[in-house]
Structure 1
Amino acid sequence: MLSNTCAPVIALDGPTASGKGTVALRVAAVLGWHVLDSGAIYRLAALTVMNHDVVLTDLTRISDLAREMRIHFEQGRILLDGVDVTSSIRHENVGNLASELAKEPVLRQGLLERQRAFRTWPGLVADGRDMGTVVFPDAPLKIFLLADVDARAHRRYRQLVEKGESADYEIILADLKARDERDMNRLVAPLKPAEDAYVIDSSALTVEQTVERVLALWRQCPDSALL
């Protein structure tokens, strides 16, 4: 029997609000594969830090808490230590803290094996910022999903409004620009396309068009013929 480390991976990276989460879910649904939302794992770490009132300079404690998290993805829901936190981890303050924590090498190392454990048969669509460069560098297909920051801010604004939450477009835009700056310039695993990644700009594409482009690239991939 083949080991899980041989299971195929589509690594889908990109900046915040580029649509990669939605695309990853739909691609995985078509292929019948598993999904890894790595951003959710960092948000879960941020929520854990907030719940335990840990000071951000106590990196050892933060890393220990991250390793101890009991995470379960269940039919679109995310459970942390048995509690449904699907909505709460999407709050902007949690996302901003997750971006801050993601700069810390000790935390990234602590979460690396947890992310790789999601690689199981029949395959995995992994959504994040360093899936193709660090977590799954041997993925047979790597995608870097772009969208200009204004388009991403409008998407995030619409998402919040549709959920009935208050939203300020200018604040969202400023937060995205700040998050992009942190993600692209951090010393460990900065946000950038893998050298062998296909870059897709989704600014003017629908979700369906973006999904089809990813699936078309997978069909052209030699590994797809082996399944």
Structure 2
Amino acid sequence: MSDAPDRPFTVIAIDGPAGSGKSTVGRRLAATLGLDYLDTGAMYRGVTFAALRRNIDPADTDVVARLAEQVELDLQDGTLIVDGVDATIEIRGPEVTRAVSLVAANPAVRKELVRRQREWAEARNGGVLEGRDIGSVVFPDAALKVYLTASPEVRAERRSKEVTDLDYETVAADIARRDAADQGRDDSPLAQAEGALVVDTSDRDVDEIVADLVARLS
């Protein structure tokens, strides 16, 4: 955790669909600015992992909502500990990936995790948070709101490299399904936040993108 008691409360919100480069840009930007970084998508995956581990149906909204209030999620340096278990690898696997949209569409789960995300930022006097509703719901008054996007082909290629046990076609289909679920859900759908800077990462260098974002904070 960064110790910056004299720093103004500064939140940078990075939203966008799967494979758009949120984690890569978010981590690099946080390191450049000396801010803490939070992958909020990993939190939803953590709740999904906890549900599957307990043989809870992710579609059972009431049970999953109660679980979200009880589960321990410890995110540090790219590692996610769920109830004392290192789930860093498992949350990116196909089982969690197929089920996480159901959990993320649960309004009670979103309410609980948004509470935790705000609490996380307040404890650190800000940070770089990435997800799908950071600029639109969690921190609509963020110092900088960014919406990352990329072509479907680039996004699928990036994700297929991360998920080694799935081929490109399967990953592309999963991304299309996730996009539809994220954009179509009733509660906090994936959408470009008002005033957000849209950045297409398809053919841009990460350092170039980060330098541009840092300049906009000056």
Name the counterpart of 1:12. Answer: 14
Give the superposition deviation at 1:36: 1.4
Conserved 8 A contact 1:33-1:122? no
Output one character per residue of 1:68-103: Cα deviation in whole Å (capped at 9) or x when no partner. 111112332211112211111111221221122111
Aligned residue for 2:120, secondary structure, equals coil
Q: Distance in 1 between matches of 2:118 and 2:126?
A: 12
Conserved 8 A contact 1:132-1:194? yes
Give the superposition deviation at 1:190: 1.0
RMSD: 1.9
Conserved 8 A contact 2:114-2:138? yes
Conserved 8 A contact 1:42-1:102? yes
Name the counterpart of 1:26. Answer: 28
Conserved 8 A contact 2:35-2:128? yes
Aligned residue for 2:153, secondary structure, equals helix
Name the counterpart of 1:222. Answer: none
Name the counterpart of 2:190. Answer: 191
Identical residues among aligned pairs (%): 39
Conserved 8 A contact 2:59-2:102? no
Name the counterpart of 2:86. Answer: 84
Against the structure 1 CA distance between its residues 207 and 51, is the aligned structure 2 distance closer, same or farther, given a 3 Å change threshold? Answer: same
What are structure 1's unaligned runs of at least 5 residues? Answer: 220-227
Against the structure 1 CA distance between its residues 54 and 159, is the aligned structure 2 distance closer, same or farther, given a 3 Å change threshold? Answer: closer
Give the superposition deviation at 1:21: 0.8
Q: Distance in 2 between matches of 1:77 and 1:125?
A: 17
Name the counterpart of 2:65. Answer: 63
Give the superposition deviation at 1:147: 0.5
Output one character per residue of 1:89-125: Cα deviation in whole Å (capped at 9) or x when no partner. 1112212211221112122112221111111345310
Structure 2 matches for 1:13-162, cutoff 5 A?
A: 13-119=15-121, 120-160=123-163
Output one character per residue of 1:43-89: Cα deviation in whole Å (capped at 9) or x when no partner. 00100110111123432221111111111123322111122111111
Q: Distance in 1 between matches of 2:212 and 2:95?
A: 33
Name the counterpart of 1:224. Answer: none
2:168 counterpart of 1:166: no
After the TM superposition, which of the residue ranges 51-60 and 32-41 deviates more from structure 2?
A: 51-60
Q: Distance in 2 between matches of 1:72 and 1:65?
A: 15
Question: What code does the residue aligned with 1:41 have?
Answer: M
Name the TM-score, length of structure 2 as normaliser: 0.91
After the TM superposition, which of the residue ranges 51-60 and 83-92 deviates more from structure 2?
A: 51-60
